[in-house]
Amino acid sequence: MKDDKDHIKKNINLESLPKKQVYVVPENYFNELPTIIQTRVVQPEPSSSPILSWSNALRFALPVLTLIMMLVYFGTRINNDDLNVEAMLDDVPTEELVAFLTESDITTEDLLSLIDINELDLDGMLQEDIRLINEDDWDEIMEEYSDLENEI
């Protein structure tokens, strides 16, 4: 033990150290080794155990599954949010919406940019507008148009 400490304190080099094997082999290890190997060679284990295959499959499948589940979750949530907004707007009376739009700084261009013209039922909207005009206003409008036509 004293010698060991002296070795450490000195400026030692490897050549001066006695070579010793520190790894201990269990008793009969090398006697039993050929039998163990022969057994494994004669009865080969399945090349890949099902448990390992499953664990490997799970290792790769789990992140993919998680990603898919997140996409599905957020996708449906976004769609639900859209539906909720539409449902909420349905409950708001048209007059209040018109009042809000009049008061706000939103321009007609801004509104039009949010609408897909192709999806609009323009004929239906026109019919609805005509239905809302009372007879007196209608006559007035028609008179204006007839005046305009005469001027032209």
Partner 1 sequence: MVIDHDDADDLVQEVFIKVWNNIDKFREDAQLYTWIYRIATNECLSFLAKKKRRFFLPIGDVEGELSSKIDHSAYISGDEIQLKLQKALLKLPNKQRLVFNMKYFDEMKYKDISEITDTSVGALKASYHLAVKKIEEFINQD
Q: Which residues bind partner 1 (CB under 8 A)?
A: 1, 4-5, 7-8, 11-14, 17, 19-26, 29, 33, 36-37, 40-41
Tokens for 116, please give them. Answer: 């897909």
Residue closer to partner 1 by CB (options 41, 87) is: 41
Residue type, 30: F
> Is 45 or 129 the residue whose CB approaches partner 1 more closely?
45
Residue with Cβ nearer partner 1 (24 or 114) = 24
In the complex, least distance from residue 13 CB atom to partner 1, rounded to whole angstroms: 6
Give me the least distance between CB of 14 and partner 1, in Å please. 5
Helix, strand, or coil (residue 22): coil
Report d(CA 7, CA 152) in Å as an integer. Answer: 119
| 3-state class (DSSP) for residue 13 | coil
Least distance CB 40 / partner 1 (angstroms): 6
- Separation CA 140–CA 135 (nearest Å): 9
Distances (CA, A) of 38 to 6, 12, 31, 45: 48, 46, 12, 12
Does residue 133 contact residue 141 with C-beta atoms inside 8 Å?
Answer: yes
Cβ proximity to partner 1, 17 vs 122, nearer residue: 17
Give the shortest CB-68-to-partner 1 separation in angstroms.
24
